[in-house]
Structure 1
Amino acid sequence: MAPTTDPHQLVRGFIADTAGTTDALVEAACTSRDPALLVAAALVPPGRPELLVRAAAAALCTRDRQLVAVASAHLRGDHDRALLLARDHLADHPDAVLVAHIAALSTRR
């Protein structure tokens, strides 16, 4: 069965490490304007900083801009800031699984 193309399902599949999802996520990021999908794809090694730039441009609401800020801090190696931003974001948006995932990655430094 082929992986989904739904951005939310791709992000959840990436977090769950579902087989084939990472490749589908990176492929979808080539044309997507979904901030969460772009941020998730930017987390895939070796990293693609241009995806964070695109995510920031596509982030029209505070929630999406905060997601980009958390991911940016994490990818810069500023794990303390990533955790602080994630904690604040999750207080307002406890359903933000991608932010929770990034926070978990930041604790593994």
Structure 2
Amino acid sequence: MTDTDLLIRRLIGGDKGAAARIAARAPTSDEPVLLVAAALLDPTAPDLLARATALASSTRDRQLTAIAAAHLAGDHERVDALARDHLADQPDNVLVAWIAANNPNPERTPS
């Protein structure tokens, strides 16, 4: 597990110091996951998500940036669908699970 992975887990666990460290590292980071976390913490800084998207070279990172973009745009149904698909293949992605958990449930029609 990398330092960034531990930092993301600390953020999800509620460590306020982790949020400050993510924000401090974001200006010079080339890690899509860290930039996505920073974008979620500061939705008024669209350049963070844009950089994450530009740097995303793996399917995992490209899906993460798409899920974060949908979340920040308030597209709850898209977040739900993308996160479910992503987590089926990448169940260890705690940042996507956290985004999905903080996404208001889209209205569902009875089956």
Runs of 4+ in 1 over 3 A off after TM superposition: none
- Which residue of 2 is the match for residue 81 of structure 1? 78
| Residue 107 of structure 1, CA deviation | 2.3
Q: Which runs of 5+ in 2 are unaligned?
A: 107-111
Number of aligned residues: 105
Larger Rg: 2
Give the aligned CA root-mean-square deviation in angstroms.
Answer: 1.7
Q: Quick one: distance in 2 between partners of 1:46 and 1:77?
A: 11
TM-score, normalized by length of structure 1? 0.89
Map Cα deviations across residues 24-60 of structure 1 (whole Å, 9 max, x no partner).
Answer: 1101111111111100110114542110000001100
TM-score, normalized by length of structure 2? 0.88
| Residue 108 of structure 1, CA deviation | 6.5
Map Cα deviations across residues 52-76 of structure 1 (whole Å, 9 max, x no partner).
Answer: 0000011001110000000000000
Identity of matched residues, %: 54
- Which residue of 2 is the match for residue 7 of structure 1? 4
- Name which of 93, 101, 105 aligns with 2:102: 105
| 2:88 paired with 1:91 | yes
| Residue 105 of structure 1, CA deviation | 1.1
